Amino acid sequence: MKVLMFISLMVAMLGMLVSALGERYVSLRGLGTAVIDEIGGSDTYDEYSVTLKPYTPYIIVLTGLGRGDLDLYLIDRLTGAIVKRSTSLGDGEVITLETGFATDYVVKVKVSSGYSYKVDPGYVLAILPKPVTISQRG
């Protein structure tokens, strides 16, 4: 659990730095990919299409940079079924996964409470190791 807290803290610090530089997708030096985005107000969720490597362990870390509660979902892109979810109180969420044959997913970040778009800076979403592809949906 301490390792996950450390990763979440590092992701948040990276997000603040990169946000100041105006980047959206950031390579974590071959370790993974981070996405920095805003959310809140009428924008209640963001979705990303991701393709992961088969038979590989992954960790997906969501760190909110605002005040409120964000939830994290991993959805099978073909069936629409929720594969995993992290809905703890607060805006720090973690999903661990070992992929099998299926590798096409949707990662969904959803506002559960709080996050007024005009005030809160958004979130950092990190996927480790680096996904094969990632793109925002919609």
Structural domains of the chain ordered from first start: 2-136 (2.60.120.380)
Neighbours of 103 (CB within 10 A): 17
Which range in 4-13, 46-55, 62-71, 116-125 is most confidently predicted, on average pLDDT?
46-55
**What's residue 115's pLDDT?**
78
Is the pLDDT score of 66 beyond 50? Answer: yes
Q: For all residues of the chain together, what is the average pLDDT?
A: 82
Overall average pLDDT of the 31-53 stretch: 88
Q: Average pLDDT, stretch 70-80?
A: 95
Could you tell me which residue, 12 or 40, shows the higher pLDDT? 40
- Alpha helix (H) residue ranges in the chain: 2-21
Nearest Cα to 11, choosing from 40, 35, 37? 35
The residue to which tokens 């939830």 are assigned: 71
Q: How confident is the model at residue 112 (pLDDT cuts 50, 70, 90)?
A: confident
Rounded to the nearest angstrom, the gap between the alpha carbon of residue 41 and the centroid of all alpha carbons in its chain is 19
pLDDT > 90: percent of the chain: 45
The helices-and-strands tally (H runs, E runs) of the chain is 1, 10
For 66, phi then psi, to 5°, come to -120, -160
95 vs 6: which has the higher pLDDT: 95
Using pLDDT thresholds of 50, 70 and 90, give the confidence band for residue 94: very high
Using alpha carbons only, what angle is made at residue 30 by residues 108 and 105, rounded to the nearest 5 degrees? 25
**For the chain, percent of residues with pLDDT exceeding 70:** 75
Q: Provide the pLDDT for residue 64.
A: 85
Question: Considering the entire predicted model, what is its pTM?
Answer: 0.82
Strand residues in 3-103 grouped as ranges (E): 25-27, 33-37, 45-51, 57-64, 68-76, 82-86, 92-98
Calculate the alpha carbon distances from 98 to 5, 39, 68, 81, 83 in Å. Answer: 20, 28, 29, 17, 11
The three-state secondary structure class of 71 is strand
Does residue 5 register a pLDDT over 60?
no
